[in-house]
Amino acid sequence: CDWSSDVCSSDLVVILDADGTVMTTLNPVGAVIWNALDGERDAAALAAGLVAQFDGVAVDELEADIVEFVESLVEAKLVESD
């Protein structure tokens, strides 16, 4: 696509808060994790399922990154956690 100076990517994910007033753009790694969030699997299960997509990343490192990412989403009120 060609939108003047905008960068277009199939990995782009933009999240709006519940009020539709705050927009958050995720990087490609955040987009992969966001798309995998299903409310069923915990961070360990998500990491185990996604680790093959990330070269050179250990499953425990990815799990820690997922926990941190989800905590940031909860703090921003973009998702709810039990």
- 49 contact partners, CB below 8 Å, separation of at least 6: 36, 41
For 50, other C-beta atoms within 10 Å of its C-beta total 20
- 74 contact partners, CB below 8 Å, separation of at least 6: 80, 81
Q: What pLDDT was estimated at residue 71?
A: 95
Mean local confidence (pLDDT), 47-59: 95
What is the band of 23 on the pLDDT scale with cuts at 50, 70, 90?
confident
Burial track 14-35 (b if 16+ CB lie within 10 A, e otherwise): ebeeeeeeeeeebeebbbbbbe
Mean local confidence (pLDDT), 19-37: 89
pLDDT at 78 > cutoff 80: yes
pLDDT at 44 > cutoff 90: yes
pLDDT at 53 > cutoff 80: yes
Give the residues across from 44 on adjacent strands.
none
